Amino acid sequence: MAVSEGALAGVKVLDLSRILAGPTCTQLLGDLGASVLKIENPVTGGDDTRQWGPPYVTDADGNASDLSAYFMSANRNKKSVAVDITTPDGQATIRRLAAEADILIENFKPGGLAKYGLDYATISKELPGLVYCSISGYGQTGPNASKPGYDLMAQGYGGIMSLTGEPTGAPMKVGVGIADVMCGMYATVGILAALRHAERTGEGQQIDIALVDAQVSWLINEGVNYLTSGNVPERRGNGHPNIVPYDVYETADGHVILAVGNDNQFTRFCEFLGLDELPTDERFATNPARLEHRDALNALLRPALLNHGTQTVIRELEARKVPVGPVQTLDQVFDSDQVTARAMQIDMEATPGPVHLIGNPLNFSRTPVTYRHAPPTFGADTQAVLNSKTPFKD
């Protein structure tokens, strides 16, 4: 079956965002085929994350470029256009490009674009069909709307840090900017829904999405556990609030992940460890019982697992159809046959030299993800875009 161009081919995105949430969203739209113009501030040298290094991509002589690894993680499939929106000429340029666009994305503080005449209330009068997405820390409304929002603050305010870390340790953030990334994902979903509406009706709209709102939304089972019981969840390290054993366990030579999801799996797991009596012990016979006696069960399992090496545990439990897996470092992740088979590492040619990026996880049978543009150096496309009669031509 022949494949076609990207699902969003022909969709035009004007990206006024920076850092991570907005760029995550626009990179995903670009991967799906949309044409994305990334507007960057010439006064500051562009997106802040260009300076969030090392590491940086270097040229053939070893000179560092402005392509930090952080910047590249969220900025492929875009063209960089330097525009100073604080000037009348810059504002006129943005309005001209917005008139050509289907989607505008920005992450200024609420009200921050009004003084430039680029806020939704102003621009929608001229462009009623525009899908306009505003990303902020706390949203366009509410008592915290004027406060700045960063990933770490969102993780703290939204509760995920209270659930992450060892029981006796300090609250812990997730190891990457997950609040930003998830906000970008929700923004993408909202934009595609609004675009569908605009295509059917000609009516654009504003999407108001906040890092903190997105963070609260993915508290998922722990959030609803609290709303249902009234009990504030405690940190459990790698343990699961509703399943036991579901944790990281030490082995004779490392660590292994166990995710024993039902009683039959538990029986087969215990057979491997030679603890055949546990599945008939009333304290451990069912998952609710194991949950109640979590500490007593782990006191028996952890010493038994120390008698076996990691690969032995994985091999033997996989043979018994018990969910098990390794804890891999990133070199092991990107060297794995699975990552290679799924094309989750990609290589592209950028202006300073070759770059190595993380692939898009979406696989389409007819409208595949495409990697058309490597992350751009600052302002690389300014003249070509601004002098073109078709600025969004990809």
Q: Residues 41-77: pLDDT tens digits? A: 999 999 999 999 999 999 888 999 999 999 999 999 9
Q: What percent of the chain has pLDDT over 70?
A: 99
Average pLDDT over residues 331-360: 96
Average pLDDT over residues 218-238: 95
Question: Is the model's pLDDT at 222 over the cut of 90?
Answer: yes
pLDDT band at 1 (very low <50, low <70, confident <90, very high): very low
Whole-angstrom Cα Rg for the chain: 25
- What pLDDT does 4 receive? 66
Residue 235 carries which DSSP code? Answer: -
The CA-based angle 11-15-18, given to 5 degrees, is: 145
Q: What percent of the chain has pLDDT over 90?
A: 97
Task: Identify each DSSP E strand in the chain by its residue range.
Answer: 12-16, 35-40, 56-58, 64-68, 79-82, 103-106, 131-136, 205-210, 246-250, 255-259, 324-326, 345-349, 354-358
Handedness of CA 200, 206, 211, 217 (dihedral sign): negative
Rounded Cα distance, 266 and 29, in Å = 43
Rounded Cα distance, 97 and 106, in Å = 14
Burial class (CB in 10 A: 0-12, 13-18, 19+), 359: middle
Number of residues in the chain: 394
Residues annotated as catalytic are: 180
Q: Decide: 278 and 270 in contact? Cβ < 8 Å.
A: yes
Burial class (CB in 10 A: 0-12, 13-18, 19+), 168: exposed
- What pLDDT does 5 receive? 86
Q: What is the pTM of this model?
A: 0.94
- What pLDDT does 344 receive? 98
